[in-house]
Structure formats: structure tokens, C-alpha cells
A and B are shown apart, each in its own frame.
Chain A
Amino acid sequence: MSGVPTRTDVAGEPAVPLDVPPPGNVQVGVDDVMLWAVVPYLVLAILILGSIWRYRYDKFGWTTRSSQLYESRLLRIASPLFHFGILAVIVGHFVGLVIPKAWMDAIGLNEDTYHFFALSVGILAGLATLVGIVLLIYRRRTTGPVFMATTRNDKLMYVFLLAAILTGLATTVFSVFDTNIVNYRDTVAPWFRSIFIFSPDILGMTAASMSFKIHTLFGLALFALWPFTRLVHAFTAPLQYLFRPYIVYRSRGKHPAPGTPRRGWDPVGTPDRGRPGVPRK
């Protein structure tokens, strides 16, 4: 490893100098191009267009679909544990992926200190999230009414959500014990940032270790599912509540009511056990 290694992307764009060389020989294959340059944009397109479509088409279905009415003893512990955990995890991802390493170095946060905080807080948050979601899934499966209210869509979402959390936590744990593991701030993070400047750093992601790749793929899958599941409620996190006036006056409205039936007003005789999203006869 001598000289300043450079990395070129597939299109032969100008070379970008690397902070730290990726170890070993990295071969970029077609599959890498697909996974780290094509799929991310597909996922982004699905996420953005899907959310817009869902918001326009299905405002009525845009809800948390809370099951607290059925059961609240377990929920009261598990749900905050999971949600606060995942919020901390999101903050962690932001720090790790979006803020360049150079900036951290610039404020005097060296590698060791950074990793100490990242790992300790990360594992704590990850564990909280994991315990939370496991409790939530347990509750969902064992509480009759809650299980009844679980759609196939929910189950699929849970698989990917749990997988993303498990693989994420695993990478964190691995990186504690395996000192040879590649620093994601030199591989995954540059790739992540490069996505948003439309110049995907395929080599960076290719150089990352397998556990990161798997975690990233599950994350991508989760984001692709996002607009079509109940996860959309996160996009309408009610932060505006902090600023809006308490009392809301609204005019009756200037637009004529739609002539087509609106969701929510099921015809009389709707099966009581039917669930949204499940075709009814």
C-alpha cells in the first residue's frame, strides 16, 4: 500500500482520493454494480414515489393502526422501548453515515473515542430496540385480538424490520470483537453519501465486510417496503404539534364532496372480523 490509492467509478469519472485505503484487493463485479449502484436508486425511487402515491391515494390508510385498545400492559413497556431505541439508532446512523470522518477528526474526536461512544451507545440502543420489538412481536402473536388485527403486510414488514435490526446489531457486536473488520466510516459511509450526489462509490461498499453488506441490503429492502406498510406513520411524526395553536378552526370547505365512496364507511353488513387490506366478500 504505497502512494495515494485512487478509486474510479464505473463511468470513469474523475478519480476521488481516498482517506484511507481499503485493505485487500477489491474486485468490483457486475453484481456489485447492481447491488450498490442500481438497487439503491431503485429503492430511493420506490420510497419517494411510493410515499407520494400512498399519501395521495390512501390518506385514510395512513395511520399507526394502534392496538393499544386491545392490550396495553405489555405495550406500555415494549412500544416506548422499541421506538426510543430506534430513534437513537437513527441518530447513530446519521452520525456514522452522514458526518464525514474528517469532520469528526477536525473537532478532535479521534478514532478510539468515536468508536467507544458509537459502540457503547449503539449496542445499548440496539438492544433496547431488539428487546422492544421482540416483546412487541411476542405480544402480537400471543394476544388474541392483536394477532387478529395483524395483516399479512404487517407480518412481512416485521420479518424485514427484525432482520435489519438483528443484522445491524450483529455488525456492531462483530466490530467489537473483530479488530480486522473494516471501518465503515471509510467504506459504507462514503458510499452512502455518494448516493445522494449521484456518483455512487461502488468500490467503497464493495470493500465493506459481509455483515455490513447484509445489513445494508436488509435496510434497502425495508425502505422499499416502507411506503406500503404501516411504517409510513413515521413520515408523519407530529412534530408540528409543538408549534400549532391548540384550537383549530376550519371552514366547511370549498370543494364539493367526492362523488365516489370514501373509505371508512363500510356498507352495512360488513363482516365484523374483516380487516383493512383484506379483500372482503
Chain B
Amino acid sequence: MSFSWAKPYEPKHPFMRWLDERLPLPRIVYNATGPGYPVPRNLNYAWNFGVAAGLFLVIQILTGIVLAMHYYATADGAFDSVNKLIMRDVNAGWLLRYAHMNGASFFFIVIYIHMFRGLYYGSYKAPRELVWMLGMVIYLLMMATAFMGYVLPWGQMSYWGAQVITGFFSAFPLIGEPLRVWLLGGYAPDQAALTRFFSLHYLLPFVIAGVVILHIWALHIPGSGNPTGVDVKDEKDTLPFHPFYTAKDGWFAAAILLVYALVTYFAPNYLAHPDNYIPANALATPAHIVPEWYFWPFYAILRSFTVDFVLDAKLWGVLAMFTSILLMFFLPWLDRSPVRSGAYRPVFKRFFWLLVIDVLILGYVGGAPISWWRTALGQAAAAYYFLHFLVILPLVSRFETPLPLPKSISDSVLHGEAAEAAPVGTKRGRKTAAATAAAE
């Protein structure tokens, strides 16, 4: 860790010393999440969502591994193994299935808040560009894992979702169709696709776990960001991760788990689509094919391209959809403002909230049945999305006048307190300013 005042790891117990001499795992944990990791003292609750995401990754892996003990990865047996064996006969099977199903949704809710925190507070800026890009890799892996997982129950939406998403690849000229057939191992989703999706769905979460470790490692080199975007200057600015942020993350995790439990136990199918309780039928398409909610904004972008212009509409849609995710990798170079946090960038802030509304609109359009005005709305929203990241952000970052930054983190933390706790009989402002000046 790069902060000089970080508490060093000094094992007291002889066994811990023995272990530390041979394999410094406890040392790594101490320095990463324990008293050995100084963290800015002014983090707000937007910073809780990284740990929450880790929690849901663990939940998904644990429930997933035990579900795999009962699941049959065959086109004939998959639906029944989920909806008969697991849901009815396996002890607590219904709980494991609903927990896994809703765990995926909550994983995405938490990750989206985590990503929007990054967008608002400039977490992607130097020196944390790699943290951001590793995070985008995790996001892509999550999307792949979730897509393949959704295919496994082999319901109508599983099958037709697989059909549509693998169909994207056939949009590419020349290599498209061979690529699609190679991915599926056939001409349509069938046994070959199902078994390979099961294999990869089991594998990728562990790859995600590995990239998460790199993500945290890359973060711990410069240390965590903070809501002011001002760098840590000295010990006053930080608190050791344990016990301060373990306590804060702990209570918030309990609260998130409470919401998760309420959904899992009392509304387990609220976020699901009824059509996936119909066994897959290759000869009958559902009335409205939609992916799971966390893909809706990208689905809206895909469907927004309706005219052939040089390239055909399908290819435009696929290119735009991939671009909408991949452009995030370039964010550190698109937004060059030296000021990190949106709290001190009033123009940027307004566009940020416009983006949030825009993504919500795109999500709505992506999940709703097609109609003329929704398509138009989606097209406008998709246009804004691209303009926001590719045109507006670079321009804003170039021409905006930011607000003055606080001198340090502790200044911003104590500014409020000092004013409140001013001694009797003194004028707050004068006293605080004089004392601050005197102390420096």
C-alpha cells in the first residue's frame, strides 16, 4: 500500500507468525481490507456498492454450485430438472432456485449503481483508468454469464433469447453466419448449445472472481477515490478500513440483503417473464421476445435502428449495441477534465442526471412492446446516449469552469463540524477561519 501511515501487519499469535513467514495471505487480507488499508474518511454510501457486488457474486457462486448438483443439461431434461426436480423435490430447492434467479437481478442493480457512482465521481480518471477498464471487463463477463444462465432452464424465453442474441453475429458480413453456427454448434439453439452454455456459465463466475481480485488490486495501488475527488494528503484524511468501513459496509449489506430477501421470498417472479415457464418450442415464437430487465437499455438501442443506410439496419443495430458498451472503455480519454468529482462540475452534473434519465427511458423502451411512439422515443434516447459520451462529455470537459475544490479531504469533512461546534459567544465564521489559518 502506498500510504506511509498505513498500519503495518504485525502478527502476535505464534501460529499467525508461522503462517505469515510461509504464505503471506493473512498479510494480504490485512493490507487490503483490514486496518492496513487507509481509506478516505469522507466516503458516502455510493461507495458501499462494490462490496455489495462482491457479496452477490459469492451468493451466486454458492447457490449456483448446489443447483448444478441437480440440473440436467439436456434439451429434454433441463426444463423438468429446474421446474420439477429443483422447485418441488429437492430439499430447499425452491429457495436455491429463487435465490439464484433474483441474485442475478440484484447483482446487476448493485453493479449499475456502482458504475453510475464511477461516472459521477470521475472514478475512471487517472490514476484509476485500469480499475475502470477491469471493471468494464467484469461487466462484460457478467452479461455473458447472465445470458448463458438464462438459457439453461430451456423455457421459451431461454430458447428465443439464445436465438436472437446469437443471431446478432450473423449481422456481420461474410463471417457472421459461420460465426453464429460455430457458437451454437448447430443451426439453431439445441443440445450442443445448451451443454456448452452450461459449461461456460459454470466457468465464467470464477473468471469474474479473478478479475475482481485484479480490480481491487489495481484500486489499492492509488487507494480509493472519494466524493471530493481530491487526493489523500496525510493521515488526517483517512481511516483504516477495519473497523470503520467493515462496519459501514456490514450494516448496509444487511439492509440490501433484507430487500433481496423480501423479493426472493414474497415476489420471486416479479422480475421474471411468464413465458419462461413454458417449455422451449422451436416452432412457436413468443409474442414479445424480451431479455431480462438488465439488458433492456441495450435492447432498446439495438431495436432503434430501423432504416438501411449504406449498411443494413440489423448491422447498424448490432454495431451500435456493442459500441454503447465498448465506448465506456475510452471514458478516461473522452473526459479530460482535471476535476474528478461531479460535485464540483455543475455543467457535467446536469448532463449526468440527463444520462440517468436517458438510460431509464431506454430501459423502459427495451422492455415494452413495440409501438410507433415508443420506437421514436427510443431513437431519441439512443441518440442522446451516444452524443452524451462521444460528443457532449469531451466538449464539457474542455470548456467547463469547475467550482473551487476543497484544499484537502479533512478540510471538507471538518468544515461543517467546526461551524456547528463553535464555542459560545463567538462569531462562527470569523473564529473558524482564524483558527484554521492559525493551525496551518
| A and B part of one assembly | no
Interface of B toward A, CB cutoff 8 Å: none
Chain A interface residues toward B at CB < 8 A: none
